[in-house]
Structure 1
């Protein structure tokens, strides 16, 4: 599986929401669908990105690493789109 920007947005949404259920609602997805996406992303990256428990989801060390790189990329991509639209 090749990772796309949307996958990193999903990871950030899960981290920000603190739960798969809340992140799914914010993304307009069913929770089982989001869980499946997360499992596929974790398989592509080679490890668990979140610990899941009764209190929600928390990033693992690998998850924190991925999130630390994903957030700036998403921000830069948003800025690029904004600048391109303004220039067009």
Structure 2
């Protein structure tokens, strides 16, 4: 599996929402589907990106590092799409 923009968007949504449930709602997918996607991403990278707690999710140190690189890419893709549609 290769990481795609949709995976990076999912990671950003989880971080922004602070929970898998809220992130899934924002993305318009089911929570089990998003959880499965996160597990696959973590398997590819070989480590957990989020700590799952009763109160939600928070990024691990690797998660923070991945997010710091993912956010500019996601923002860039959003800008590209917006420019193409203008």
Q: TM-score, normalised by structure 2?
A: 0.94
Which residue of the partner structure matches residue 9 of structure 1? 9
Equivalent positions of 1:9-88 (< 5 A) are 9-86=9-86
Measured in 1, the distance between the counterparts of 2:3 and 2:56 equals 24
Length, aligned pairs only: 86
Cα distance between partner residues in 1 of 2:57 and 2:18: 5
1:83 CA displacement: 2.3
Cα distance in 1 between the residues matched to 2:15 and 2:41: 14
Cα shift at 1:71: 0.3
State which structure, 1 or 2, has the greater radius of gyration over its C-alpha atoms.
Answer: 1
Query: Runs of 5+ in structure 2 lacking a partner?
Result: none
- SS of structure 2 residue aligned to 1:51: strand
Deviations 1:42-75, CA, capped at 9 Å, x for gaps: 0111110000011100000000000000000111
Unaligned runs of 5+ in 1: none
CA distance in 1, matches of 2:53, 2:10: 19
Cα RMSD (Å): 0.9
State the shift of 1:39 in Å: 0.1
Bigger mean CA deviation after superposition, 34-43 or 72-81: 72-81
